[in-house]
Amino acid sequence: MSTDFDSARVAAAARAVVRDRDPRSVPVSEFLGACFDAGLSWVHFPEGHGGLGVSRGLQSVADAILQEAGGPVPYSLNPIGYGMAAPTLHEHAQSEELKRKWLRPLASLENVWCQLFSEPGAGSDLAGLATSAVRDGEDWVVNGQKVWTTLAHRARWALLIARTDPDVPKHRGLTYFVVDMRAPGVETRPLRQITGDAEFNEVYLTDVRIPDAHRLGAVGDGWRVAMTTLMNERTSIGASGTRRGDGAIADALALWAQRPDRHTPVRRDRLAQLWLRSEAQRLTSERSRATATVRGPGPEGSIGKLVGAESNQRVYEFCMDLLGPEGLLYGDYTMRDIDTVEDYPEVQQRFLRSRANTIEGGTSEVLRNILGERILGLPGDLRADSGRPWREVPRG
């Protein structure tokens, strides 16, 4: 539970960083490094690891001061790092030395992170993955293929889940690692999207050696560690755009103001409904964050991600309707490497990019299963592979 003293302490630390390093005049990496040193990257982490040991809910106090002064939104610059890797490393890294090694360069953007989870043959069944890790002395030798890896082309480190025991049921034979993306045997190939850009990648791992010290959690306990990552992922995605009118709905409102010739009562009503839905999502995300403040991210984070993804698609569909024939124009189809979603400058590009929202970070179908089973208590899906060794489960 946060106190007035803790809140004042966080606010004072944030004002000191802004006073000593004006974010409008110093490099982003220097500013974010100073935020880490002041304990403002993740205020609920221990001191020395980018935090102050206070309530998670006080992060908003720090962020408001830093961003009002012109500071960046770190999640948008290193989303896997800030939203998923940092909490996983904080909870499961084997030593304090490794936490210090990884966390500060992550916070300062010296090291971008990516997430090697999805595979071509596993689909949404993450626990069915086939990438193997075999123990060889003090190392593990990894072979396999991952896909849809955001920022793999920029990443220095990656979160990896691999199969270490194919003779037990699929959830029990997994182990979690941190892999060096510059290690021999790691090959990254860009995947060109419908936008024409390469934001995602496929990654091939051929005899990649990972020190056992870079294992997170116990051997065979990878699924539990992965849940730390996934719960934080869905919470961080669902919590984006925390101020009223932020996010996709801001694009729709701006476009509405620019196109008075396209106004009709039907479109006005549609825009109002979209705004109400966006505001309901924002308030639901606030409630989810309040819950996470007390007991950490849980399945409730899936609500914000699910609703936000589908709302984004509806908003940009409205934008295309409002543009009319102009929506068919696409200013720049140059093949580029994209770092963040904010790199898409045009509404048409954001419309195309929004098609991925209901797939990335857990498909909407998977999230509905999570909410139905873990929040509403509905019966689970029939699982034909339950209890069977992974090696014996038929795979396409």
Catalytic site positions? 233
d(CA 100, CA 265): 57
Question: Which residues are 217's β-sheet partners?
Answer: none
| Tokens at 206, concatenated | 């051929």
d(CA 107, CA 120): 31
Concatenated DSSP letters of 224-288:
HHHHHHHHHHHHHHHT---STT-THHHHHHHHHHH-GGG--HHHHHHHHHHHHHHHHHHHHHHHH
d(CA 40, CA 50): 6
d(CA 106, CA 85): 9
Phi-psi region of 39 (alpha: psi -120 to 50; beta: other; left: phi over 0): left
d(CA 142, CA 119): 14
Bridging pattern class, strands 200-211 and 139-146: antiparallel
